[in-house]
Amino acid sequence: MTRVLAAGDHFVLNRLLIDALRHEIPDGLDITELTLPWPVEPFGRIAEVSEASGSEEAMIDALRGVEVCVTEMAPLTQKILDACPELRLFCISRGGPVNANIEAATRHGVAVTSAPGRNATATAEHTLAMILAATRRIPQTHADLASGVWRGDYYMYDNVGPELEGSTVGLIGYGAIGSRVARMLHGFGAEVVVFDPYVTPEVLGTSAEQVGLDELLSRSRIVTLHARVTPETTGMIGAAQLAAMPAGSVIVNCARGALLDYDAVCDALDSGHLFGAAFDVFPEEPIPAGSRLLSTPNIVMTPHLAGASKETAAKAARIVAGDVGRYLRGEPLAHCANPTTLSTSTA
Protein backbone atom coordinates (compact mmCIF):
# COMPACT_ATOMS: atom_id res chain seq x y z
CA MET A 1 0.00 0.00 0.00
CA THR A 2 1.21 3.51 -0.84
CA ARG A 3 0.52 6.00 1.93
CA VAL A 4 -0.95 9.24 0.57
CA LEU A 5 -1.92 12.47 2.33
CA ALA A 6 -4.75 14.50 0.84
CA ALA A 7 -4.16 17.98 2.27
CA GLY A 8 -7.09 19.81 0.73
CA ASP A 9 -8.81 23.02 1.73
CA HIS A 10 -12.21 24.65 1.32
CA PHE A 11 -11.82 25.06 -2.46
CA VAL A 12 -9.96 21.99 -3.69
CA LEU A 13 -11.80 19.70 -1.32
CA ASN A 14 -10.35 16.49 0.04
CA ARG A 15 -13.28 14.57 -1.46
CA LEU A 16 -12.34 15.91 -4.91
CA LEU A 17 -8.72 14.89 -4.42
CA ILE A 18 -9.65 11.45 -3.07
CA ASP A 19 -12.23 10.77 -5.80
CA ALA A 20 -9.68 11.70 -8.46
CA LEU A 21 -7.04 9.48 -6.86
CA ARG A 22 -9.42 6.51 -6.60
CA HIS A 23 -10.41 6.96 -10.23
CA GLU A 24 -6.78 7.10 -11.36
CA ILE A 25 -5.50 4.37 -8.98
CA PRO A 26 -8.41 2.13 -7.91
CA ASP A 27 -6.36 -0.04 -5.53
CA GLY A 28 -3.27 0.13 -3.37
CA LEU A 29 -3.66 3.55 -1.73
CA ASP A 30 -3.83 4.22 2.01
CA ILE A 31 -5.19 7.79 2.08
CA THR A 32 -5.30 10.08 5.11
CA GLU A 33 -6.68 13.60 5.20
CA LEU A 34 -5.78 17.06 6.46
CA THR A 35 -7.99 20.09 5.80
CA LEU A 36 -6.20 23.44 5.52
CA PRO A 37 -7.97 26.72 6.41
CA TRP A 38 -7.69 28.52 3.04
CA PRO A 39 -9.65 30.51 1.83
CA VAL A 40 -11.46 31.03 5.15
CA GLU A 41 -8.07 32.29 6.31
CA PRO A 42 -5.88 34.08 3.73
CA PHE A 43 -2.77 32.34 2.50
CA GLY A 44 0.57 33.86 3.39
CA ARG A 45 4.26 33.22 3.88
CA ILE A 46 5.22 30.16 5.89
CA ALA A 47 8.94 30.00 6.64
CA GLU A 48 10.69 30.34 3.25
CA VAL A 49 7.70 29.68 0.96
CA SER A 50 4.91 32.02 -0.11
CA GLU A 51 1.15 31.74 -0.70
CA ALA A 52 0.77 28.80 1.67
CA SER A 53 -1.85 27.72 4.20
CA GLY A 54 -1.65 25.77 7.44
CA SER A 55 1.56 25.29 9.39
CA GLU A 56 4.81 23.38 9.30
CA GLU A 57 3.89 21.56 12.51
CA ALA A 58 0.55 20.32 11.17
CA MET A 59 2.18 19.12 7.96
CA ILE A 60 4.96 17.29 9.80
CA ASP A 61 2.41 15.45 11.92
CA ALA A 62 0.23 14.57 8.92
CA LEU A 63 3.14 13.47 6.72
CA ARG A 64 4.65 10.91 9.07
CA GLY A 65 5.19 7.76 7.04
CA VAL A 66 3.60 9.33 3.95
CA GLU A 67 5.15 8.80 0.49
CA VAL A 68 2.85 11.01 -1.60
CA CYS A 69 1.06 14.27 -0.78
CA VAL A 70 -1.62 15.92 -2.91
CA THR A 71 -2.56 19.45 -1.95
CA GLU A 72 -3.25 22.96 -3.14
CA MET A 73 -1.89 25.26 -0.45
CA ALA A 74 0.17 23.15 1.97
CA PRO A 75 3.72 24.40 2.54
CA LEU A 76 6.74 22.30 1.64
CA THR A 77 9.66 23.78 3.53
CA GLN A 78 13.15 22.71 4.53
CA LYS A 79 11.88 21.95 8.04
CA ILE A 80 9.08 19.72 6.73
CA LEU A 81 11.42 17.90 4.36
CA ASP A 82 13.96 17.28 7.14
CA ALA A 83 11.23 15.77 9.34
CA CYS A 84 9.56 13.61 6.65
CA PRO A 85 12.17 11.33 5.04
CA GLU A 86 9.58 8.95 3.54
CA LEU A 87 8.06 11.68 1.34
CA ARG A 88 8.87 11.23 -2.36
CA LEU A 89 6.16 13.07 -4.30
CA PHE A 90 4.46 16.40 -3.49
CA CYS A 91 1.69 17.34 -5.93
CA ILE A 92 0.40 20.93 -5.87
CA SER A 93 -2.92 21.49 -7.62
CA ARG A 94 -2.08 25.05 -8.66
CA GLY A 95 -0.70 26.68 -11.77
CA GLY A 96 2.78 26.75 -10.24
CA PRO A 97 4.50 25.28 -7.16
CA VAL A 98 4.94 28.60 -5.33
CA ASN A 99 4.30 27.04 -1.91
CA ALA A 100 7.21 24.59 -2.21
CA ASN A 101 10.93 25.01 -1.64
CA ILE A 102 12.01 23.36 -4.89
CA GLU A 103 15.73 23.47 -4.14
CA ALA A 104 15.28 21.78 -0.77
CA ALA A 105 12.88 19.24 -2.26
CA THR A 106 15.42 18.38 -4.94
CA ARG A 107 18.14 17.87 -2.34
CA HIS A 108 15.81 15.50 -0.47
CA GLY A 109 14.82 13.56 -3.59
CA VAL A 110 11.20 14.78 -3.50
CA ALA A 111 9.56 15.40 -6.86
CA VAL A 112 7.24 18.43 -6.92
CA THR A 113 4.46 18.76 -9.48
CA SER A 114 1.82 21.37 -10.23
CA ALA A 115 -1.38 21.75 -12.28
CA PRO A 116 -0.80 24.33 -15.03
CA GLY A 117 -3.89 25.40 -16.91
CA ARG A 118 -6.31 24.27 -14.20
CA ASN A 119 -8.02 27.67 -14.00
CA ALA A 120 -7.43 28.98 -17.53
CA THR A 121 -11.08 28.99 -18.55
CA ALA A 122 -12.32 30.46 -15.28
CA THR A 123 -9.72 33.23 -15.32
CA ALA A 124 -10.39 34.07 -18.96
CA GLU A 125 -14.13 34.33 -18.29
CA HIS A 126 -13.49 36.48 -15.23
CA THR A 127 -11.20 38.74 -17.24
CA LEU A 128 -13.95 39.33 -19.77
CA ALA A 129 -16.41 40.04 -16.96
CA MET A 130 -13.99 42.58 -15.49
CA ILE A 131 -13.58 44.30 -18.86
CA LEU A 132 -17.33 44.65 -19.20
CA ALA A 133 -17.78 45.72 -15.58
CA ALA A 134 -15.17 48.48 -15.96
CA THR A 135 -16.30 49.76 -19.35
CA ARG A 136 -20.01 49.74 -18.47
CA ARG A 137 -19.65 50.96 -14.86
CA ILE A 138 -21.67 47.98 -13.63
CA PRO A 139 -20.51 47.90 -9.96
CA GLN A 140 -20.90 51.67 -9.53
CA THR A 141 -24.37 51.85 -11.05
CA HIS A 142 -25.51 48.83 -9.06
CA ALA A 143 -24.27 50.40 -5.81
CA ASP A 144 -26.11 53.63 -6.59
CA LEU A 145 -29.36 51.82 -7.33
CA ALA A 146 -29.01 49.63 -4.23
CA SER A 147 -28.74 52.81 -2.13
CA GLY A 148 -31.83 54.30 -3.76
CA VAL A 149 -30.06 56.70 -6.14
CA TRP A 150 -30.93 56.89 -9.85
CA ARG A 151 -28.10 58.72 -11.62
CA GLY A 152 -28.89 59.81 -15.13
CA ASP A 153 -25.48 61.44 -15.48
CA TYR A 154 -23.98 58.03 -16.19
CA TYR A 155 -25.56 58.43 -19.65
CA MET A 156 -23.62 61.63 -20.42
CA TYR A 157 -21.18 61.26 -23.30
CA ASP A 158 -18.07 61.88 -21.21
CA ASN A 159 -19.19 59.29 -18.65
CA VAL A 160 -19.80 56.34 -20.95
CA GLY A 161 -17.20 53.80 -21.96
CA PRO A 162 -16.25 52.07 -25.21
CA GLU A 163 -17.90 49.09 -26.83
CA LEU A 164 -15.84 45.96 -27.36
CA GLU A 165 -16.98 45.65 -30.95
CA GLY A 166 -14.50 47.57 -33.05
CA SER A 167 -12.17 48.30 -30.12
CA THR A 168 -8.54 47.26 -30.05
CA VAL A 169 -7.76 45.15 -27.00
CA GLY A 170 -4.15 44.49 -26.03
CA LEU A 171 -3.16 41.24 -24.33
CA ILE A 172 0.16 41.15 -22.51
CA GLY A 173 0.82 37.42 -22.43
CA TYR A 174 -0.72 34.78 -24.69
CA GLY A 175 -0.60 31.55 -22.75
CA ALA A 176 -3.50 29.33 -21.73
CA ILE A 177 -5.46 32.27 -20.31
CA GLY A 178 -4.56 35.00 -22.80
CA SER A 179 -5.37 32.81 -25.79
CA ARG A 180 -8.81 32.04 -24.36
CA VAL A 181 -9.47 35.73 -23.72
CA ALA A 182 -8.56 36.42 -27.35
CA ARG A 183 -11.10 33.88 -28.59
CA MET A 184 -13.82 35.40 -26.41
CA LEU A 185 -12.99 38.91 -27.59
CA HIS A 186 -13.27 37.84 -31.20
CA GLY A 187 -16.85 36.85 -30.44
CA PHE A 188 -17.50 40.46 -29.49
CA GLY A 189 -15.94 41.78 -32.67
CA ALA A 190 -12.84 43.24 -31.00
CA GLU A 191 -9.45 43.57 -32.70
CA VAL A 192 -6.84 41.75 -30.60
CA VAL A 193 -3.15 42.63 -30.45
CA VAL A 194 -0.65 40.64 -28.40
CA PHE A 195 2.71 41.27 -26.77
CA ASP A 196 4.41 38.02 -25.80
CA PRO A 197 8.08 37.46 -26.69
CA TYR A 198 7.66 33.70 -26.26
CA VAL A 199 4.64 33.05 -28.48
CA THR A 200 5.35 31.72 -31.97
CA PRO A 201 3.51 32.70 -35.14
CA GLU A 202 2.25 29.12 -35.38
CA VAL A 203 0.60 29.38 -31.96
CA LEU A 204 -0.77 32.85 -32.62
CA GLY A 205 -2.16 31.96 -36.03
CA THR A 206 -4.65 34.48 -37.38
CA SER A 207 -6.44 35.00 -34.07
CA ALA A 208 -4.40 38.06 -33.08
CA GLU A 209 -1.69 40.41 -34.29
CA GLN A 210 1.69 40.22 -32.57
CA VAL A 211 3.19 43.63 -31.81
CA GLY A 212 5.78 45.23 -29.55
CA LEU A 213 4.79 46.51 -26.13
CA ASP A 214 4.99 50.17 -27.13
CA GLU A 215 2.71 49.64 -30.12
CA LEU A 216 0.25 47.60 -28.06
CA LEU A 217 -0.03 50.36 -25.46
CA SER A 218 -0.47 53.13 -28.01
CA ARG A 219 -3.18 51.30 -29.96
CA SER A 220 -5.25 49.61 -27.25
CA ARG A 221 -8.36 51.09 -25.64
CA ILE A 222 -8.29 48.14 -23.24
CA VAL A 223 -5.13 46.44 -21.96
CA THR A 224 -5.28 43.22 -19.96
CA LEU A 225 -2.35 41.45 -18.28
CA HIS A 226 -1.75 37.71 -18.55
CA ALA A 227 2.01 37.37 -17.99
CA ARG A 228 3.84 35.40 -15.33
CA VAL A 229 5.91 37.30 -12.80
CA THR A 230 9.62 37.12 -13.67
CA PRO A 231 12.50 39.55 -13.14
CA GLU A 232 11.73 40.90 -16.63
CA THR A 233 7.97 41.37 -16.10
CA THR A 234 7.97 42.69 -12.52
CA GLY A 235 6.72 46.28 -12.64
CA MET A 236 6.51 46.17 -16.43
CA ILE A 237 3.53 48.55 -16.51
CA GLY A 238 4.23 51.79 -14.71
CA ALA A 239 3.53 55.51 -15.13
CA ALA A 240 5.29 55.79 -18.51
CA GLN A 241 3.43 52.82 -19.96
CA LEU A 242 0.05 54.05 -18.68
CA ALA A 243 0.74 57.49 -20.15
CA ALA A 244 1.36 55.84 -23.54
CA MET A 245 -2.17 54.41 -23.57
CA PRO A 246 -4.88 56.47 -25.31
CA ALA A 247 -6.88 58.82 -23.10
CA GLY A 248 -10.00 57.10 -21.81
CA SER A 249 -8.47 53.62 -21.79
CA VAL A 250 -9.06 50.76 -19.37
CA ILE A 251 -6.48 48.46 -17.77
CA VAL A 252 -7.29 45.03 -16.33
CA ASN A 253 -5.10 42.75 -14.21
CA CYS A 254 -6.22 39.25 -13.28
CA ALA A 255 -2.66 37.83 -13.36
CA ARG A 256 -0.33 38.99 -10.56
CA GLY A 257 -0.04 42.25 -8.66
CA ALA A 258 3.72 42.52 -9.17
CA LEU A 259 3.25 43.22 -12.89
CA LEU A 260 1.73 46.65 -12.33
CA ASP A 261 2.41 49.93 -10.50
CA TYR A 262 -0.89 50.47 -8.72
CA ASP A 263 -0.03 53.95 -7.46
CA ALA A 264 0.57 54.97 -11.07
CA VAL A 265 -2.84 53.58 -12.00
CA CYS A 266 -4.47 55.60 -9.23
CA ASP A 267 -2.69 58.72 -10.50
CA ALA A 268 -3.92 58.06 -14.05
CA LEU A 269 -7.49 57.55 -12.82
CA ASP A 270 -7.39 60.67 -10.65
CA SER A 271 -6.15 62.73 -13.59
CA GLY A 272 -8.83 61.31 -15.89
CA HIS A 273 -6.31 59.81 -18.29
CA LEU A 274 -7.71 56.33 -17.66
CA PHE A 275 -11.44 55.70 -17.91
CA GLY A 276 -11.32 52.73 -15.56
CA ALA A 277 -9.37 49.84 -14.12
CA ALA A 278 -10.29 46.34 -12.95
CA PHE A 279 -8.18 44.21 -10.62
CA ASP A 280 -8.41 40.73 -9.18
CA VAL A 281 -4.82 40.78 -7.86
CA PHE A 282 -2.97 43.30 -5.74
CA PRO A 283 0.52 44.18 -4.51
CA GLU A 284 -0.54 43.21 -0.98
CA GLU A 285 -3.34 40.77 -0.20
CA PRO A 286 -5.64 41.38 1.57
CA ILE A 287 -5.66 45.06 0.57
CA PRO A 288 -4.47 47.06 3.61
CA ALA A 289 -6.67 49.70 5.18
CA GLY A 290 -5.82 53.13 3.83
CA SER A 291 -4.77 51.85 0.40
CA ARG A 292 -5.46 54.29 -2.44
CA LEU A 293 -7.20 51.45 -4.23
CA LEU A 294 -10.06 51.72 -1.75
CA SER A 295 -10.74 55.39 -2.43
CA THR A 296 -9.74 56.02 -6.06
CA PRO A 297 -12.82 56.20 -8.31
CA ASN A 298 -13.62 53.93 -11.26
CA ILE A 299 -11.80 50.82 -10.03
CA VAL A 300 -13.55 47.45 -10.11
CA MET A 301 -12.07 44.92 -7.67
CA THR A 302 -12.53 41.27 -6.77
CA PRO A 303 -10.54 39.41 -4.06
CA HIS A 304 -8.22 37.19 -6.13
CA LEU A 305 -10.95 34.81 -7.24
CA ALA A 306 -10.68 34.92 -11.03
CA GLY A 307 -9.77 31.25 -11.09
CA ALA A 308 -12.55 30.18 -8.75
CA SER A 309 -15.01 27.79 -10.34
CA LYS A 310 -16.24 24.31 -9.54
CA GLU A 311 -14.61 23.11 -12.74
CA THR A 312 -11.24 24.56 -11.69
CA ALA A 313 -11.27 22.62 -8.41
CA ALA A 314 -12.26 19.35 -10.06
CA LYS A 315 -9.74 19.79 -12.90
CA ALA A 316 -6.96 20.56 -10.39
CA ALA A 317 -7.68 17.33 -8.54
CA ARG A 318 -7.66 15.31 -11.76
CA ILE A 319 -4.34 16.81 -12.91
CA VAL A 320 -2.46 15.98 -9.70
CA ALA A 321 -4.05 12.52 -9.50
CA GLY A 322 -2.79 11.91 -13.01
CA ASP A 323 0.77 12.57 -11.92
CA VAL A 324 0.36 10.32 -8.88
CA GLY A 325 -0.71 7.55 -11.25
CA ARG A 326 2.30 8.17 -13.49
CA TYR A 327 4.63 8.11 -10.47
CA LEU A 328 3.27 4.78 -9.24
CA ARG A 329 3.47 3.27 -12.74
CA GLY A 330 7.05 4.48 -13.18
CA GLU A 331 6.13 6.84 -16.02
CA PRO A 332 7.50 10.36 -16.59
CA LEU A 333 5.56 13.01 -14.69
CA ALA A 334 3.60 15.48 -16.79
CA HIS A 335 4.08 18.62 -14.70
CA CYS A 336 7.21 18.18 -12.60
CA ALA A 337 9.30 21.16 -11.46
CA ASN A 338 12.36 18.99 -10.67
CA PRO A 339 12.16 15.78 -12.74
CA THR A 340 15.70 14.64 -12.01
CA THR A 341 14.74 13.82 -8.44
CA LEU A 342 13.01 10.60 -9.48
CA SER A 343 16.33 9.12 -10.59
CA THR A 344 18.37 10.39 -7.63
CA SER A 345 17.93 10.43 -3.89
CA THR A 346 20.13 12.58 -1.66
CA ALA A 347 17.98 12.51 1.46
Active-site residue, selected from the candidate residues 108, 137, 226, 304: 304
Cα dihedral angle (290, 295, 300, 301), rounded to 10 degrees?
A: 10
Q: Which amino acid is at 132?
A: L
Is residue 116 within 8 Å of 95, Cβ to Cβ?
yes
Q: For residues 228 and 206, what is the distance between their CA atoms, to the nearest angstrom?
A: 24
> 199: alpha, beta or left, given left = phi > 0 and alpha = psi -120 to 50?
beta
Bond prior to 39 in cis (omega within 30° of 0): yes
What is residue 38's DSSP assignment?
A: T
**Which residues, other chains included, contact 299 with Cβ-Cβ below 8 Å and sequence gap of 6+?**
265, 269, 276, 277, 278, 279, 293
304 is catalytic: yes
Burial 140-169 (b: 16+ CB within 10 A, else e): beeeeeeeeeeeeeeeeeeeebbebeebbb
Active-site residue, selected from the candidate residues 256, 318, 326, 335: 256
285 is catalytic: yes
Q: For residues 251 and 93, what is the distance between their CA atoms, to the nearest angstrom?
A: 29
45 is catalytic: no
Nearest to 135 by CA among 223, 211, 237, 217: 223
Active-site residue, selected from the candidate residues 33, 51, 215, 285: 285
Q: Which residues form the catalytic set?
A: 256, 285, 304
